[in-house]
Amino acid sequence: MNKTWNNKAWFMVLPVFLLVAISAIIPLMTVVNYSVQDTFGNNEFFWNGTDWFVDTLTSERFHAALVRNLSFSLIILAIEIPLGIGISLTIPKKGWGVSVCLVLMALPLLIPWNVVGTIWQVFGRVDIGLLGHTLAALGLDYNYVQDPIDAWATVVAMDVWHWTSLVALLCYAGLSAIPDAYYQAAKIDGASRWAVFRYIQLPKMKRVLTIAVLLRFMDSFMIYTEPFVVTGGGPGNSTTFLSIDLVKMAIGQFDLGPAAAMSIIYFLIILLLSWIFYTVMTNSEGAN
């Protein structure tokens, strides 16, 4: 029996696709145009070829910022993924406590990024901030404005506080989809708590964990607002990630050509690393 396909629905979503495509392609083409040209002002541009790309890829400044980005993303994933899984396992599955826990977990996600940076900027101050004042009272020499290690610890703690909830909520959704029959069978077999987690809960969470890892990697690798508000990229260049360095180059120094080339390379690195993450995780899931 031949099945008749109705494609009328595509005509309803086609305007949305066109709008998104136009809004994405036009800025991208502008960036590509700047990346292969140079200017000396007066809106006069000269062909520069791939020189800006070569300069960016061989720049120690770019390499240092890239290492900071990769280090930050790996630290974030190493903390937030296990912590999110642990929190999701403690959230009750039934009763009024479910709603309370889910609402509390969602609260940090509702706060805008610039507000999060402002909160932690005040929170970490030694004179009036609760965190900074408490650490100083305990005799710890904490100052995220002057000490690179303190600045990194503050930025990492801020991101963990802000985004671990997302991982926990995704993992909780995966846990909620597990039928009770699995737990009943494990109870009959006398399986330990670790065995239940290893052979029932973790495999059922693999799909949502793939989403969580991809989302958190991409977002942490593109982080800008929070560290810019808290540290401004300092002290020195210790928290100057690629996004902050890119803004400084484009707006602060007005080097449009190098900034455009750097933004394209930045974009391609995110695509490549996200593809690698996704391929590795889906292949490991298929192997199991």
CATH value at residue 34? 1.10.3720.10
| Lowest-pLDDT choice from 147-151, 176-180, 220-224 | 176-180
Q: What is the per-residue pLDDT across 158-215, written as a single tens digit (0 to 9) for each?
A: 999 999 999 999 999 889 888 888 888 888 888 888 998 988 888 888 888 888 998 9
Report the pLDDT value the prediction gives residue 165, as an integer from 0 to 100.
93
Mean model confidence pLDDT for the chain: 87
The answer to whether position 36 is within a domain reads yes
Question: Is residue 276 within 8 Å of 285, Cβ to Cβ?
Answer: no
The answer to whether position 3 is within a domain reads no
Q: What is the per-residue pLDDT across 81-132, written as a single tens digit (0 to 9) for each?
A: 999 999 999 988 888 888 888 888 889 999 988 899 999 999 998 888 898 8
Average pLDDT over residues 146-160: 93
Kindly report the pTM of this predicted structure. Answer: 0.85
The answer to whether position 1 is within a domain reads no
Report the pLDDT value the prediction gives residue 41, as an integer from 0 to 100.
67
Which phi and psi angles does 78 have, rounded to 5°?
-65, -25
Report the pLDDT value the prediction gives residue 256, as an integer from 0 to 100.
84
For the cut 70, the answer to whether the pLDDT of residue 2 exceeds it is: no
Domain carrying residue 109: 8-287
Give the dihedral of Cα atoms 237, 243, 247, 249; nearest 10 deg.
60
Find all residues with CB under 8 Å of 22, minimum gap 6, and list them: none
Report the pLDDT value the prediction gives residue 127, as an integer from 0 to 100.
85
For the cut 60, the answer to whether the pLDDT of residue 56 exceeds it is: yes
The answer to whether position 206 is within a domain reads yes
Report the pLDDT value the prediction gives residue 170, as an integer from 0 to 100.
92
For the cut 60, the answer to whether the pLDDT of residue 288 exceeds it is: no
Q: To 5 degrees, how large is the angle CA 251–CA 252–CA 257? A: 55
Number of domains in the chain: 1
Contacts 24+ apart (CB under 8 A), 132-136: none
Report the pLDDT value the prediction gives residue 244, as an integer from 0 to 100.
92
Report the pLDDT value the prediction gives residue 276, as an integer from 0 to 100.
87
Query: pLDDT grade, residue 5 (50/70/90)?
Result: low
Q: To 5 degrees, how large is the angle CA 235–CA 240–CA 246? A: 140
For the cut 80, the answer to whether the pLDDT of residue 224 exceeds it is: yes
Average pLDDT over residues 128-140: 88
Report the pLDDT value the prediction gives residue 282, as an integer from 0 to 100.
77
Tokens at 255, concatenated: 């080097």
Average pLDDT over residues 216-221: 91
Average pLDDT over residues 214-231: 91
Average pLDDT over residues 143-170: 93
The answer to whether position 2 is within a domain reads no
Average pLDDT over residues 71-80: 95
Report the pLDDT value the prediction gives residue 251, as an integer from 0 to 100.
85
Alpha-carbon distance of 215 to 166, in angstroms, equals 9
Q: What is the per-residue pLDDT across 11-38, written as a single tens digit (0 to 9) for each?
A: 778 888 888 878 878 888 888 888 888 8
Report the pLDDT value the prediction gives residue 3, as an integer from 0 to 100.
60
Alpha-carbon distance of 19 to 142, in angstroms, equals 49
